[in-house]
Amino acid sequence: MAKLMGGAAGFQQGAMHAQRARMHPSGLPPLSFRTCAQLEISRFCSIPRFVGAKAVSVPQQQHARHRVGSIRASALSRLQDDTTRYFDFVVIGSGVAGLRYALEVSKHGSVAIITKAEPHESNTNYAQGGVSAVLCPSDSVESHMQDTIVAGAYLCDEETVRIVCTEGPERVKELIAMGASFDHGEDGRLHLAREGGHSHNRIVHSADMTGREIERALLQAVENDENISLFGHHYAIDLLTCQNNGEIYCYGVDSLETKAQKVVRFISKVTLLASGGAGHIYPTTTNPPVATGDGIAMCHRAQAVISNMEFVQFHPTALADEGLPVKPAKTRDNAFLVTEAVRGDGGILYNQSMERFMPLYDDRAELAPRDVVARSIDDQLKKRGEKYVLLDISHKPREKILAHFPNIAAECLRHGLDITRQPIPVVPAAHYMCGGVRAGLQGETSVKGLYVAGEVACTGLHGANRLASNSLLEALVFAQRAVQPSIDHMVDVDADPCLAANWARPVLPISIRDSSLSDIIDRTRKTRMELQSIMWEYVGIVRSTNRLKNAEWKIGDLESEWEQFLFRRGWKPTTVGIEACEMRNLFCCAKLVVKSALARRESRGLHFTEDFPYLEESKRKPTVIFPTTIQELTWSSKPLQRQLQCK
């Protein structure tokens, strides 16, 4: 899969040498964007060169850096303001992928991390299970690869799988060296758990709050890095792109600073997109509220290649609030996850008549991959007309349950349920996007200067279904693999600081009356719920061609009605507000999922359709959505800014 478009091993690094002389304003040498003009520059003098890029000797690099340093203070004082910021690297997203990447590239340039809410509010923070890695002598890379490929229904890219499984253990050791604390057994060694689909115990974890611990350690390191600037409550609107000789280049991103209500433009030489998934296209998801598919939609509008969007993973066991003795006081923003590790530790699934049902569906029973377990639960619920099933771990020693799952135990106890004595009510919920922006083996995309890592990326690791606890592993590996090509691109590209003025800026709805704005927000909220309902009803765990086509028509009509409502109230194509921008991205991602699902005429992994219920070997290939010159005439699929021609 990583061999994108005609089997190429990866996207080739673009360069713009022939255009540079024309891109610089008269008398102004190329700028290296930094937050501080006094940063030490000696550490930039031994940067390895990327294969195929223009060779520059160390003395030449030193001379250029010092020459730029002498003019940086005066130049940036004229250019930098509170609505336009310049950095060598911009990272969109503050989960494990974005933070880990930022900590590496900050050794070579200035870094801005922009994040939609608080820095800790990411999918990483909600990851309970852990990180899968071969750290036991009885385990092997080959075994981990085989488990990954089997879970992925043989759609995984084998080269990607080998890279991730081979490099993963070193990435985990780096986390430990940075201060991440994982559970150890009585023998003092790392405690390795086992989850569904794994043939060995290989899950490194921190009780049932692994993501939170990793996020804590990485955020602490970021806070201590003076070359990284963290911008919270900055919502990424659209990528800033231009075209040269048929290639698309990325030069940063426009954002909406939601607290101050102003548009801030980030100009950068390199952009890493690590913005997470799109769980909120469905009404029930384990994803936090920030997961509205912004990164995937932005990349689609920027004409990046998108792949495998039909493979939406539904986690089999989210907490079913309806089955709790004491119901939550208000509806949750996101479903509470009951980790895969509960089943891996011996948890058993029952229907409400306390009949164990998983052995009826798969010989691996509760340890079957997630897609199998989710479909089995879905089948039980439909056949029996019930709202949830039961996951029981109470037959295990109380102290072991509380030690391994303290967060789950505490949450259930808050609602009157003691998991050491009673089964947990659970139901499937949208959890993870196996598809996304297509990436090469170094996180590169079809847009030059734009890299992706984490859930927003489709690297080929997961294939048609993600193996449990492979997501944090993938994020760590690809965040690291994107570092060197990013540095090479940063050194090799001279971004004209005056480029910032060439894109039209998004505008705030200040000219719209308060009553109309209130109507727009209210209508958008209702539209969002309608879209989620359509996706659950027609594009859920079990699909059919007729239901998918119905979804396509209904989504198209709903989007058209919503856009017309906005524009009648004074909204313009360049107007931005977080509710409306999220809605356009949700529409975009929902349509990509439906389009991809209709294109796959077989059942594989997470995509199960009643019309084509079997695997077809001839169709064992990724679904690819290539950019087209003629965009659909909808707001969700067109960028706010006019794409420039680089001159």
Q: Which residues are catalytic?
A: 370
Question: Please, is 10 exposed, middle or buried when counting C-beta atoms within 10 Å of its C-beta (0-12, 13-18, 19+)?
Answer: middle
Beta strands at 312-319 and 424-433: parallel, antiparallel or unpaired: antiparallel
User: How far apart are the C-alpha atoms of 57 and 63, rounded to whole Å?
Assistant: 10
Contacts of 399 (CB under 8 A, 6+ apart): none
Lookup result for tokens 């004229």: 78
- Return the amino acid letter for 291: A
Beta strands at 228-231 and 234-244: parallel, antiparallel or unpaired: unpaired
CB 311 within 8 Å of CB 605:
yes
- CA count, 13 A, side-chain hemisphere, 153: 26
User: How far apart are the C-alpha atoms of 465 and 453, rounded to whole Å?
Assistant: 18
Q: What is each CA distance from 329 to 321, 390, 601, in whole angstroms?
A: 10, 22, 43
User: How far apart are the C-alpha atoms of 470 and 310, rounded to whole Å?
Assistant: 19
Provide the token pair at 60.
């030449």
User: How far apart are the C-alpha atoms of 581 and 133, rounded to whole Å?
Assistant: 38
- Give the per-residue SS3 of 555-618: HHHHHHHHHHHHHHCCCCCCECCHHHHHHHHHHHHHHHHHHHHHHCCCCECCECECCCCCCCHH
- Torsion of Cα atoms, 461 then 275 then 300 then 507, to 10°: 180
Q: What is the CA radius of gyration of the chain?
A: 24
Lookup result for tokens 């509710």: 579
CB 182 within 8 Å of CB 213:
yes
Bridge partners, 426 (sequence order): 319, 389
User: How far apart are the C-alpha atoms of 402 and 380, rounded to whole Å?
Assistant: 29
